Structure 1
């Protein structure tokens, strides 16, 4: 089983430590493309209109300035850099050592800057969204899509993929539909379902944690994933097709 996560919008910078060691990152075949995106990001972030070009507000000026010196910024494991609703619900720090090892082996983060990261890969905090277009790179989702298909193909072979990404990050890589289950979250009131955003992030984080801490073998099929989800939630499985992944719908009673 592999759990696919989006990065968090907010990131917690490392206070101290060495800069990123490119050769230690997972999927090293992506390094030339990571370097290209990082260089383009640094150029844009140094521009006088950097905030507008990156689509962020003035409150994120420090984050944007940090983008100009990422080669030298302290790096830390992805599970400490990424923060926010989903990552708080996953709660890596409160996992046991064995559960942390499982998380490091099982979690992949699809990133606008790095393409794909293992949970234990050390990177600096940065500010970049998958929806951004950079000079000489273009929009990042189509830039990464063929590269991730090549880099991740062998790594995901034989695994059930639990896809907790948002649509923006799902656009950057299409995993094999037959072995992929996209996680959706709804609230239900009086029989009427509504798609939720904040609670979707939180619930996906809770699901990731549940899959990491529960006893027994990890789910190896969509049906087994449904069984694991039903240990905590009202859930249903919608079968996929040759081109569309399965869907696990978690229903929260409002």
Structure 2
């Protein structure tokens, strides 16, 4: 199976991973078009567009200006080890071995507003561009339209290379909307994580993000390639009564 995840706003560029066999994102020419557009957006407009503070807007204006098509170990880090939000904390990505990362590179993909679809060992430079940003680029009204079918096609390529007909969707709704699930060459399984709260099972967003990461870590460390094996995920309990063919519900509490 191929697992897709959302990225994180929080980035760790302090830790170095010089020993890893990194690669360059596959659609760098598309990323360059977005960067050229973003370089023409003022700090004030960027703050409004992305709901950022003045300081964060200034930081990202600088990031766009410094971004380069030349990726190296000074300006870049491997994507899976650089994202540092709740999903990646749940995954405990920093504890992955090189063997874990080689497996992840074959079976995990990261959705990205700037890069479309990233392999775990693809290098990234500091950036901020959420998939839901209403940034017009040429005739495209937003980031979803800009990427079009490119991300879906890349996922199908990854599934073919991995010899699988299953996509495990652990991405948020904002990010998974860039994927045309009807055009995926196989079945799509979306896990949903619910915690017992006030007598009923509900999705608690922070815990759900952590659970997505924990499930990914479970899959990578145990080298799972069959989607049925995720039922053995022991942080939450699979609930057959609450699940459907395409939406698998896991509960806790």
The interval holding the TM-score normalised by the smaller chain is 0.7 to 0.9
Query: Corresponding residue for 2:9?
Result: 9
Matched, 1:39 2:41: no
Map 1:84-103 → 2, pairs under 5 A: 84-103=85-104
Map 1:106-121 → 2, pairs under 5 A: 106-121=107-122
Query: Corresponding residue for 1:243?
Result: none
Query: Corresponding residue for 2:46?
Result: 50
CA contact (8 A) 1:14 1:75 kept: no
CA contact (8 A) 1:233 1:251 kept: yes
Distance 1:128 1:139, change over 3 A: same
Point out the more displaced range, 155-164 or 86-95: 155-164
Distance 1:88 1:114, change over 3 A: same
CA contact (8 A) 2:136 2:143 kept: no
Provide Cα deviations, 1:72-104, integer angstroms capped at 9, x if missing partner.
Answer: 781111023211111111112212332222122
TM value normalised by structure 2: 0.82
Point out the more displaced range, 90-99 or 102-111: 90-99
Q: 2:178 aligns with which of 164, 172, 177?
A: 172
* Structure 2: 5+ residue stretches without partners: none
* Structure 1: 5+ residue stretches without partners: 241-245
Q: What is the distance in 2 between the residues matched to 1:115 and 1:129?
A: 11
Matched, 1:225 2:230: yes
Distance 1:189 1:172, change over 3 A: same
Matched, 1:156 2:159: yes
Q: What is the distance in 1 between the residues matched to 2:133 and 2:239?
A: 34
Please state how far the C-alpha of 1:127 moved relative to its aligned partner.
Answer: 1.1
Matched, 1:202 2:207: no
**Partner of 1:172: helix, strand, or coil?**
coil
CA contact (8 A) 2:104 2:120 kept: yes
**Partner of 1:156: helix, strand, or coil?**
helix
Point out the more displaced range, 94-103 or 171-180: 171-180
Q: 1:186 aligns with which of 191, 194, 205?
A: 194
Count the aligned residue pairs.
236
Provide Cα deviations, 1:104-156, integer angstroms capped at 9, x if missing partner.
Answer: 22221010000000000011010111111223242112322312223332222
